[in-house]
Each structure stands twice: as structure tokens, then as C-alpha cells.
Amino acid sequence: MSKVRTLILRAPGTNCDEETAFAFEQAGAVVSLVHISQLIDRTKQLKDYQIMVIPGGFTYGDDMGAGKVLANEIRLKLGRDIERFTENGGLILGICNGFQVLVKTGILPGLLPTSKLPLTLTTNDSGRFECRWVYLVANRESRCVFTRGIERMYLPVAHGEGKVVADPKVLPGLDVVLYYTDEQGNTKAGYPYNPNGSVANIAGISDATGRIFALMPHPERFTRGSQHPRWQSEGTKERGDGFRIFTNAVKWAKSL
């Protein structure tokens, strides 16, 4: 396969699709911005792609809760398509609103009925929209293919409902990929390092295969060194911390 085909899913209120598309293009993928209506009416087919991405934004205004309406659309109208896509080895990435959507469909932490979801995302403990940069550490034991070779990252967050809450019984078996930390890498640091109050400082999770991954921070907003908020005073590097997530995905998908 010469090029990896990546689908960036759009819906009313999506606003990070262009940045995410650019990141994947820079990583070597061929990218299509596809509205959910095109998948529903079959003018576009999910099976024609190797990677599916649900980017950040406020789909349908988050009027019934963050990501809830889009999650219902995907679950009720595209559920079997998603199952076939994952069964055939496809990768799925959810960023911010995409994390909320993947959880509320039951796709994460695993393909489950929404009536039995052991995990969800809810309003930040601060009660307000949190928009700033955070420190992250990757779990070396995670199966996630998106974060291979990554140890730490510094990425921006921008969300009002990013708090992960979970049934205590599922936490030991959950594949946590990323944790919020302080500058020293302390994964138990509280607010403001943990911007939303997520249980166990969880910032991103994966399914059991490692091929479905979602995170609240925005890797697409730090793919170039000059996007770092202190690049002028601290110097710059060619690529930002988030870029490797996209290159890892493209590299993996080439093997499909």
C-alpha cells in the first residue's frame, strides 16, 4: 500500500477537522473530510479507509451532553459498519469531542451496549471550560499503537466536559494510555495539572486491541515546534509532541 487513506469525520459543530487533516497529511496519509451524512447515505464507505478520526469540536452544540447526539447517530446508523471496520484491523482515533463520542457510543473502552457503560466523561470539577497546556506521561504497558515510543508530551486542552469517571471495578482492567502529570511526571498531581478532575488522572484510553484510542488533549495543535507557547524563549524543535501520534498511526496502517 503506497498511501494510507484516512477519514476525518465531520458533523455540525466540528471545528478541529482541518488541523487534524493537516497533521495526517504531514504524516504521509491521504485524507478525506467526510460528513456523517455521507456515511449514512453510503456516498462514502468506511471500508475504503484504514483510519477513522473523530476530531474535536462541539458536535450538535453538545446540547444533550458533550458528543451525545453524534454518538447516537453513529451507534444507531453506523454501528455495524464500525464493527466491520474494527474487525478488519482499522484504526480509530478520537480527540476531545471524539473521546466523548467514542465513550458514549460504547466503542470505548470496548464495543458494549450503552446501557452497560462502565465509564463516561462529565463536567470538569472546576465547573468551567479549561483551555491551556498540560503535561502528560504515556503508560509503557499500554497496547496502544498510537503512542508507541512516546514517553512524555506537552499538549493543549480545551474542554468543559473532560472528567473521566468510571466504575471502580473496571479501573484495574482499563488500558489507560495517557495520564495528566506535573512537570516532574507525578501522575497523582491534582488541579490545575489535572484540568478536569479525571479519576486516576486519566487523559486517554485505548480498547483491548490498542487500535482504538481517544484522548482529551489536542495533539493536532502541536505538530510543529513553533506551536509551543514558549518556543521563542526556550528554542524550537522541528516537530511538536503531538506529531508522533499521527506518524505512528500511518505507519501501523501501512501494514494492513
Residue 64: how many other CB atoms lie within 10 Å: 12
Which position among 16, 73, 220, 228 bears the catalytic label? 220
Residue of 73, 96, 159, 161 marked catalytic: 96
- pLDDT digits over 200-252, tens only? 999 999 999 999 999 999 999 999 999 999 988 887 788 999 999 999 999 99
What pLDDT is stored for residue 117 in this prediction? 74
pLDDT of res. 113: 60
Span 4-253 CATH architecture: 3-Layer(aba) Sandwich (3.40)
pLDDT in tens, 148-164: 999 999 999 999 999 99
Beta carbons within 10 angstroms of residue 224's beta carbon: 18
161 is catalytic: no
The residue ranges of every structural domain in the chain are 4-253
**Which class for 159: exposed (0-12), middle (13-18), buried (19 or more C-beta within 10 A)?**
buried
With a cut of 70, list the residues of the chain below it in pLDDT.
1-2, 111-116
Active site residue 218: yes
pLDDT for 70 equals: 97
DSSP string over 1-51: --SEEEEEEE-TTB-SHHHHHHHHHHTTEEEEEEEHHHHHTTSS-GGG-SE
- Reported pTM: 0.96
Active site residue 220: yes
Among 159, 161, 218, 228, which one carries the catalytic annotation? 218
CB 204 within 8 A of CB 214: yes
